[in-house]
A and B are shown apart, each in its own frame.
Chain A
Amino acid sequence: MGLEHALGDSAFTTTIDSAINWCRKNSVWPMPLGISCCGIEMMAFAMPRFDVSRFGAEVFRFSPRQSDLLIVAGTTTYKMATVVRKIYDQMPDPKWVVAMGACTSSGGMYRTYSVVQGIDQFLPVDVYVAGCPPRPDNLLHALIMIQEKIQRGESRSTPMTVAAERAEKQQLLQIQGINN
């Protein structure tokens, strides 16, 4: 992801990798998309009792350009889906998505004409949180799972590892060599 791409693969860079990932995971800046009832539990998750700032994530920036975790909290309707997709596209790489609640995971209790049956129909989702609404402890567990994912260096938005990218470049060079 990002910086490590430029340096390539070696023992030196894997240590830098894990150091950078450690820094990244302990300062996740979430972008809350509090649409409906789950938004209230997300606010509670940021408040004194279920404090999220002990995990380094209390900086709720409402601007997508400055955040790396998108928490979609609340029922997503078809009208709102274009807005959510626009916000996701504006976030810089690497980014992660948490689908909070039953409504975002699968449409929830609303099997109606205007509710999208799960945001994974138009967004790549990393963690699904069950509940209607999920307790704030549940959302903290999701945040910890995201932190573990970051430590391992996985991100849905940058699908290729460094080795795969190098292999693809070699293939392209071979094809160009044949054409020449």
Chain B
Amino acid sequence: MDIRQQKILAALENKDTSVHFDDALDNQMILNMGPQHPATHGVLRLLIKLDGETVVACVPELGYLHRGYEKLAENVSYHEFIPHTDRLDYLSPLMNNTAYVLAVEKLVGIEAPKRAQYIRTIISELARISSHLLGVGALAMDIGALTVFTWTFREREKMYDIFELLTGARFTTSFTRVGGIAHDMTPEVKTAITGFIDQFPEKFNDCIKMLNTNRIFVERLEGVGVISKEKAVAMGMCGPNIRGVGIEHDLRRKEPYLVYNELDFNIPVFYNGDSLSRYYVRVNEVKESIKIIRQCLEKIPDGPVHANEPKKVLPRKERVYTKMEELIHDFMLINFGVNPPVGEVYHAVEASKGELGFYIQSRGEGHPWRLKIRSPSFMNLQSTPLLVEGRMISDIVAILGSLDPVMGEADK
């Protein structure tokens, strides 16, 4: 047996467990819920020690999608890293773009104009809706309700149409830039978003009606995967998972960024701490996001979408091709990068899975000295052993679905 297997087995044997059985037969078995599995969200490997069908201990193993983002970031410039942030939480790429660019802007010390901030808020909330739709759909599919998955994908396809109209790509958009966004939002996009928002609540209610009062769904999720408040905070859980325990923690309210302090929305909080509360938090967050988008579309001001900082912000292409100064700035920025001052920042954003933070250390060069991605799915997966102990095998799938991890983020 190789070293890794030995160490994992040692971890499984040594973990303290609160579950004890007085069974003369002592039929404990170690099961491998491997990286390729229909119900683990991506490539997550779970090693489970079972007594019959009850889980006694569980050890997750990550690293099957480790692509070396942090090493990459030390070698590319700040602008070149934006397409890489798309692939982090690949269910809501626009949100990751916004989070990264906000951290870089904090480091550099500039601020995007108001119109750009409103557009960034709109696309962040659209990305949040898209991610929660897939989260709810995948949870329903794992429980067995396949139809809800196809319906939520149908809604997501409409959102992909909007993203394509606005940014040019369905999925991996790379839309935000340091100092603003890539290009402005045309009136056509605004009509498309309004059209989508007008018909969406009814379609979403159709999907949710199938699940909310469904006895099988509720009984499979109620009381499953309970975690207490103190443990959730101590383990570093974030996002809808911690709002399902009863703690009202949302970075959009506590440390407002973009234009969230001018908007009126509620933070859904449920108190039971089980998988059903986490599901309800996600459903209600989608409804709140629709409210936010409607308010933004009404309040959005006219104006530029790039900050007026020639030495830090990429200039517009038509000016690059015609004017001398913009050509020089473009050349310097692409080749030598945005040169922020020496220092370090940590900026966190409320992404759809939780607190997505970027810790950037700069030594004055065009590329970061150290970039650390604080990924919410990584911290959420840390509490899997606590949630799963004492439950049956079939509950593991429900618990993973309600935690909603994304391995692109957790493995970086």
If A44-B157, A47-B153, A83-B35 touch, whether A36 touches B170 (CB-CB below 8 Å) is no
Asked if B42 and A114 make an inter-chain contact with CB atoms under 8 angstroms apart, the answer reads no
Asked if A79 and B42 make an inter-chain contact with CB atoms under 8 angstroms apart, the answer reads no
- 0/1 interface trace, chain A 14-45, chain B, CB 8 Å (1 if under): 00000000000000000001111101110110
Q: Is B77 an interface residue (CB 8 A)?
A: no
Would you give the shortest CB distance from A115 to chain B, in whole angstroms? 6
19 pairs, CB–CB < 8 Å, chain A vs chain B: A34-B42, A36-B43, A36-B90, A37-B90, A37-B408, A39-B42, A40-B91, A40-B171, A44-B153, A47-B153, A47-B154, A48-B150, A49-B153, A49-B157, A77-B64, A77-B66, A79-B66, A80-B35, A113-B71
How far, in angstroms, from A127 to B362 measured CA to CA in the complex?
43
Q: Which of A80-105 contact B (CB under 8 A)?
A: 80, 83, 87
Asked if A37 and B87 make an inter-chain contact with CB atoms under 8 angstroms apart, the answer reads yes
Which chain A residues lie closer than 8 Å to B68 at the CB level? 110, 112-115
If A35-B42, A40-B91 touch, whether A133 touches B171 (CB-CB below 8 Å) is yes
Which chain A residues lie closer than 8 Å to B153 at the CB level? 43-44, 47-49
If A35-B42, A109-B84 touch, whether A115 touches B67 (CB-CB below 8 Å) is yes
If A47-B157, A48-B150 touch, whether A132 touches B66 (CB-CB below 8 Å) is no
Most B-side CB within 10 Å, residue of A37, A39, A110: A37
Chain B residues in contact with chain A, CB under 8 A? 34-38, 42-43, 63-68, 71-72, 83-84, 87, 90-91, 134, 149-150, 153-154, 156-157, 160, 170-172, 407-408
If A36-B42, A48-B153, A87-B36 touch, whether A77 touches B67 (CB-CB below 8 Å) is yes
Which chain B residues lie closer than 8 Å to A83 at the CB level? 34-36, 64
Q: Is A135 an interface residue (CB 8 A)?
A: yes
Which residue of the partner chain, among B66, B156, B157, contacts A114 with CB atoms under 8 Å? B66
Q: How many residues of A contact B (CB 8 A)?
A: 30
How far, in angstroms, from A35 to B149 measured CA to CA in the complex?
19
How far, in angstroms, from A49 to B90 measured CA to CA in the complex?
20
How far, in angstroms, from A147 to B157 measured CA to CA in the complex?
27
How far, in angstroms, from A87 to B87 measured CA to CA in the complex?
25
Q: Is A55 an interface residue (CB 8 A)?
A: no
Most A-side CB within 10 Å, residue of B67, B72, B154: B67
What residue of chain A has the Cβ atom nearest to residue B35's Cβ? A83
Chain A residues in contact with chain B, CB under 8 A? 33-37, 39-41, 43-44, 47-49, 62, 74-75, 77, 79-80, 83, 87, 109-110, 112-115, 132-133, 135
Asked if B71 and A33 make an inter-chain contact with CB atoms under 8 angstroms apart, the answer reads no
Asked if A33 and B64 make an inter-chain contact with CB atoms under 8 angstroms apart, the answer reads no
Asked if A36 and B154 make an inter-chain contact with CB atoms under 8 angstroms apart, the answer reads no
How far, in angstroms, from A79 to B171 measured CA to CA in the complex?
26
How far, in angstroms, from A114 to B64 measured CA to CA in the complex?
10
Asked if A35 and B43 make an inter-chain contact with CB atoms under 8 angstroms apart, the answer reads yes
Most A-side CB within 10 Å, residue of B37, B38, B71: B38
How far, in angstroms, from A112 to B63 measured CA to CA in the complex?
14
Asked if A35 and B157 make an inter-chain contact with CB atoms under 8 angstroms apart, the answer reads no
How far, in angstroms, from A36 to B171 measured CA to CA in the complex?
13
Asked if A74 and B171 make an inter-chain contact with CB atoms under 8 angstroms apart, the answer reads no
Asked if B66 and A62 make an inter-chain contact with CB atoms under 8 angstroms apart, the answer reads no
Asked if A37 and B36 make an inter-chain contact with CB atoms under 8 angstroms apart, the answer reads no
Asked if A48 and B38 make an inter-chain contact with CB atoms under 8 angstroms apart, the answer reads no
How far, in angstroms, from A76 to B45 measured CA to CA in the complex?
15
Which residue of the partner chain, among A47, A74, A110, A132, contacts B72 with CB atoms under 8 Å? A110
Which chain B residues lie closer than 8 Å to A77 at the CB level? 63-67
How far, in angstroms, from A74 to B406 measured CA to CA in the complex?
13
Asked if B83 and A80 make an inter-chain contact with CB atoms under 8 angstroms apart, the answer reads no
Which residue of the partner chain, among B36, B72, B154, B157, contacts A112 with CB atoms under 8 Å? B72
Would you give the shortest CB distance from B126 to chain A, in whole angstroms? 16
Which chain A residues lie closer than 8 Å to B66 at the CB level? 77, 79, 114
Which residue of the partner chain, among A41, A49, A112, contacts B67 with CB atoms under 8 Å? A112
Which chain A residues lie closer than 8 Å to B171 at the CB level? 37, 40-41, 133
Would you give the shortest CB distance from A67 to chain B, in whole angstroms? 12
What residue of chain B has the Cβ atom nearest to residue A61's Cβ? B38
